């Protein structure tokens, strides 16, 4: 998962983690004197993180930290992906309610659980 963590009004970190985003936030907070806030998360791994880093390269402060100018665009990315995942869940729920075959239902439930895990945590 890709996370976006804001350090007060200084910058935004775009990083990846296999942990819960809140766990990553807590571990970063112990070594940072600034108050950190989780802006949100989106699905993805290393390649997606690198694409985001390249997209915002002109706003880079250092490493994975970017200036606050990108905050609105980051929030837009988070919101767009949340809406997409919501539509996917709605479609899966509708398909589950119409499915007759147990194997199809089990497959759809499996996909739904994977999507929920990606969306929530």
Residues 41-68: tens digit of each pLDDT: 888 888 989 999 999 999 999 999 999 9
* Residue ranges per structural domain of the chain: 2-120
Task: Tell me the pTM.
Answer: 0.71
Distance CA 6, CA 8 (A): 6
Of the chain, the percentage scoring pLDDT greater than 70 comes to 88
pLDDT at position 118 is: 61
Q: What is the DSSP string of 46-86?
A: HHHHHHHHHHTGGGEEETTEE-GGGHHHHHHHHHHHHHHHH
pLDDT at position 119 is: 52
Q: Is the pLDDT of residue 70 over 60?
A: yes
pLDDT at position 82 is: 73
């Amino acid at each position: 998962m890709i996370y976006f963590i804001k350090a007060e009004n200084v910058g935004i970190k775009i990083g990846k983690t296999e942990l819960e985003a809140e766990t990553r936030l807590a571990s970063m907070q112990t070594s940072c004197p600034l108050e950190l806030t989780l802006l949100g998360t989106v699905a993805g791994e290393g390649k997606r993180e690198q694409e985001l880093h390249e997209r915002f390269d002109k706003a880079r402060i250092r490493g994975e930290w970017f200036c606050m100018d990108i905050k609105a665009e980051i929030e837009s990315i988070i919101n767009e992906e949340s809406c997409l995942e919501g539509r996917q869940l709605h479609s899966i729920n509708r398909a589950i309610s119409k499915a007759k075959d147990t194997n199809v239902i089990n497959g759809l439930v499996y996909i739904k659980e994977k999507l929920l895990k990606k969306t929530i945590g």
